[in-house]
């Protein structure tokens, strides 16, 4: 049985030893490197207020999680403006500009991220960011977090034939890094992202940044963690080190 992020007991499902020796680590961006969903929600609320969406009543976090979090902008545009896709796409472009302005002041890393960064760099592992976010957003967030020199590749869902939850973005990342999926792990925070990783044949460790555990578990993550400081993660990485030695 898979364990939740609230359970620190070690069992076979939290083990990563089957992927030793590790070659690469792949990260989603929004909600995985940084807790950006509240900023996205605020940007949507600002934009919705301008057009009188939902009769002027601000949408809440639950609405955002169910309909927008982790989804490709084209899909959100179709959901919001099914009868006027061009308007929806323009709305999303404007919303992302608002997001970048807000993020420049408010964006912070997920707890423990820089500790994990050091662990990855010390072992010479390859790494890529794989996201459904627009390139301008992804590059802005990665730069803001001081990770521009850390990532060796950046894969944008919109620049692939298929975005997440299709596995293509993750398969493209391992192709760019020249690593095997049998020796690569993924960090994700959304249902669509975990599904993409699992479909690509790689273990996806889910972060419970904002999305409910029961929803994430439906996507079949290897296990869930609260942050990169989670003892469960470090127990698994310590085991992995021993296996690789």
Residue 55 has what pLDDT? 83
Beta bridge partners of 130: 155
The pLDDT of residue 125 is 98
Residue 158: active-site member: no
Pick the catalytic residue from 11, 28, 83, 149: 28
Supply φ then ψ for residue 207, to 5 degrees. -100, 130
pLDDT at residue number 155: 98
Judge whether 28 counts as a catalytic residue.
Answer: yes
Q: For residues 53 and 122, which has the higher predicted lDDT (pLDDT)?
A: 122
Per-residue pLDDT at 244: 87
Region 17-43 average pLDDT: 96
pLDDT of res. 83: 96
Check: pTM over 0.75? Answer yes or no: yes
The residue from 30, 35, 37, 189 that is catalytic is 30
Banded pLDDT at 70 (limits 50, 70, 90): confident
């Amino acid at each position: 049985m898979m364990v939740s992020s609230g359970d620190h007991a070690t069992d076979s499902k939290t083990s990563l030893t089957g992927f030793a020796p590790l070659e690469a680590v792949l990260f989603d961006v929004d909600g995985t490197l940084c807790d950006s969903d509240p900023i996205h929600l605020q940007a949507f609320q600002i934009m919705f207020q301008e057009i009188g969406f939902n009769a002027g009543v601000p949408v809440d976090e639950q609405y955002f999680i169910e309909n927008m979090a982790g989804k490709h902008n084209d899909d959100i545009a179709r959901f919001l403006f099914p009868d006027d896709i061009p308007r929806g796409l323009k709305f999303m472009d404007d919303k992302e500009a608002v997001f970048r302005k807000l993020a420049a002041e408010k964006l912070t890393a997920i707890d423990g991220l820089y500790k994990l960064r050091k662990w990855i760099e010390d072992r010479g592992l390859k790494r890529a960011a794989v996201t459904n976010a627009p390139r301008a957003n992804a590059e802005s967030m990665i730069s803001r977090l001081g990770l521009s020199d850390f990532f060796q590749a950046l894969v944008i869902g919109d620049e692939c034939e298929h975005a997440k939850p299709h596995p293509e973005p993750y398969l493209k990342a391992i192709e760019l890094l020249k690593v095997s999926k049998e020796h690569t792990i993924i960090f994700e925070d959304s249902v669509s992202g975990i599904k993409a990783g699992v479909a690509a044949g790689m273990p996806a460790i889910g972060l419970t940044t904002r999305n409910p555990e029961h929803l994430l578990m439906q996507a079949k993550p290897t296990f869930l963690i609260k942050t990169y400081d989670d003892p469960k993660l470090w127990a698994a990485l310590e085991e992995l080190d021993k296996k690789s030695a």
